[in-house]
Structure 1
Amino acid sequence: MPTAPCQHPGATRLSAIERSDGIGRIVIEADRLDSTNRRLVELGRAGAGHGTILIARDQTAGRGKGERGWFSAPDGSLCLSVLVRTGRGLREAAQLPLLAAVALREAILAETGVAAGVKWPNDLLAGGRKICGILAEAACDGDGDLDFVVIGMGINLAIPEAGFPENLRQGAVSLATLSGRPVDRDGLVASLAMLLDGWVKRWEGQGLPAFAEAWTAHALHLGHVVRLTDGDEDICATLIGLAADGALRICDAAGTVRDVHSGEIQSGETGLFPPVAPIPSQLPKTRIGAFS
């Protein structure tokens, strides 16, 4: 495995926060990258090991849900990706964005005191405003079997209110604004690495039940009626919780319980929540594919 798996100028090892094993064993920071996910997939193809973390101080082409871009600001955002090699299969690996949300929520609470809610499948919100988005991508081998997963996280660390684009100001907020104090970036990364490592190990042994209770305890909109677009169908339904594969389980107006693997969801009260990204029920065996 490369000891310094990044060819970009200014890339360094953050040895002070690296762990002895597991997630965070290697932590690399680059001054400027197009996408931490894209670059870490390349490093994974080159042999980077389980638990490698790649951080960009500035990310120029970060991606959000679907084809949307992800806004970030130099030193105001925490843009990082984590490489996970797992013995579980491709379909089960689609649960990793849910697991990552649980770990990141705990790390943010520990480091900043901000208590976030988890929005299926891959967002953290506080006071109805987004503080983090998660994008996981699978890399498969030549036979279409899972090789590794890269989990990308974009966290609004210290972007001032006026620093967001005008169209995002009502829907996004930074941890520094919420906590009223500066956020220790390295402390947050170290806490996330430790917590994510523990959750991944439990998930390896138990699957989704390992973290489903923790996810549900902090999930937003459970028991509430929302407007949901599932394909071409526009429905109102009550959110029940997670299905066995990480899909969203709902009860529609006719009383039918069903699982939703993709769609757009909005709060029934305000209609202002951003849409939920798709999680396919059967992940395609491609060389690289987005989970969320």
Structure 2
Amino acid sequence: MRAGEGPPVPLPRGYRLDDVALIPSTSDACVARAHAGEPDGLAILAAGQTAARGSRGRSWSCPPGNLYLSVLLRPRNAFEAGGAGQWALLVGCALIEALRAFDGAPGLLQLKWPNDVLRDGAKLAGILIDAAMSAEGAVDWLVAGVGANLAVAPAVEGRQTAALVSPSGKPPSPRAVTEVFLARLEAWRGRLADEGFASVRSAWLAAAHPIGTPVTIKDARRSRQGAFAGLSEEGALLLSVAGELGGEITVVSTGDVLLGQEG
């Protein structure tokens, strides 16, 4: 038993965990293994990365003690082949459940569309999805890369960052968080198969910032302001462009989301 962390959590059936010291990028390694035909369930956990990637090609700082993990997933059914954007939300549900299990104030953790976990409004974790699509436009395989500040909150220009705060004051080990995360990921895959994406959407909304939160959407072409109005049935962000609920609703499928005065 690991002090303060409870006993090890068994990996879900079919999952394999490669625990490595230093690697250029866990996601790049998983993508290469996917192209080589690696089956579903490969997870690569690194103590450090030398060429980590964030969303939209950003670099990612990797101080010791934080979580650097990527998981290769191959859709098992039509629900799982639906779309890479929906996978980001499903992975987010699993990740926030895992992080809340180790944080002394789990209520401070919230999801932010499409791929962040916040702690008291500051970025704690992020998700990066790499996917290959079939000729029919369905997901053939995907790699879910997860980075989380378990011990250190590195400085990020233009963003507030936070680290997890455990009840004991001692950061949990990346291995312990990985074990819980993989268990929750598999549980959410089961719910997706049994209940469809609506269950993921509902859980994501329950863990996210409230409806009506002021948001700014930035992409390569423009910046838009409004209020968060929920998610579409497919998982896209709904933006009330009038800045308050009841205004014109725009569906946003991509872009950086800033909450309130963030950034």
* TM-score above 0.5, yes or no: yes
Give the letter for the 2:143 counterpart.
V
2:254 paired residue number = 262
- 2:40 equivalent to 1:47: no
Question: What is the CA–CA distance in structure 2 between the aligned matches of 1:158 and 1:187, rounded to whole Å?
Answer: 13
Structure 2 unmatched ranges of 5 or more: 1-7
Q: 1:110 aligns with which of 80, 101, 107?
A: 101
Q: Aligned with 2:101: secondary structure?
A: helix
Q: How does 1:135-214 map to 2 (within 5 A)?
A: 135-140=128-133, 146-159=139-152, 164-165=154-155, 167=157, 171-176=160-165, 180-214=169-203
Cα deviation for residue 77 of structure 1 reads 1.4
Question: What is the CA–CA distance in structure 2 between the aligned matches of 1:41 and 1:142, rounded to whole Å?
Answer: 19
The 8 Å contact of residues 125 and 147 in structure 2, kept in 1 or not, is answered as yes
1:27 paired residue number = 17
Question: What is the CA–CA distance in structure 1 between the aligned matches of 2:167 and 2:24, rounded to whole Å?
Answer: 28
Cα deviation for residue 214 of structure 1 reads 1.2
Per-residue deviation, residues 213-248 of structure 1 (Å, max 9, x unmatched):
111112125212223346634332111111111110
How has the CA–CA distance of structure 1 residues 34 and 143 changed in structure 2, closer, same or farther, with 3 Å as cutoff?
Answer: farther
1:56 paired residue number = 46
How has the CA–CA distance of structure 1 residues 79 and 221 changed in structure 2, closer, same or farther, with 3 Å as cutoff?
Answer: same
1:253 paired residue number = 242
Cα deviation for residue 21 of structure 1 reads 0.5
Q: Aligned with 1:100: secondary structure?
A: helix
Cα deviation for residue 90 of structure 1 reads 5.3
The 8 Å contact of residues 66 and 174 in structure 2, kept in 1 or not, is answered as no
1:240 paired residue number = 229
Cα deviation for residue 33 of structure 1 reads 0.9
Q: Aligned with 1:222: secondary structure?
A: coil
The 8 Å contact of residues 237 and 250 in structure 1, kept in 2 or not, is answered as yes
Cα deviation for residue 154 of structure 1 reads 0.5
Identity of aligned residues (%): 32
2:86 paired residue number = 95
Q: How does 1:218-229 map to 2 (within 5 A)?
A: 218-229=207-218
Q: How many aligned residue pairs are there?
A: 249
How has the CA–CA distance of structure 1 residues 194 and 167 changed in structure 2, closer, same or farther, with 3 Å as cutoff?
Answer: same
Cα deviation for residue 128 of structure 1 reads 1.4
Per-residue deviation, residues 65-100 of structure 1 (Å, max 9, x unmatched):
1010111113x2110011111133655232111111
Per-residue deviation, residues 242-270 of structure 1 (Å, max 9, x unmatched):
111111012211821121112333233x2
Question: What is the CA–CA distance in structure 2 between the aligned matches of 1:271 and 1:78, rounded to whole Å?
Answer: 24
How has the CA–CA distance of structure 1 residues 237 and 165 changed in structure 2, closer, same or farther, with 3 Å as cutoff?
Answer: closer
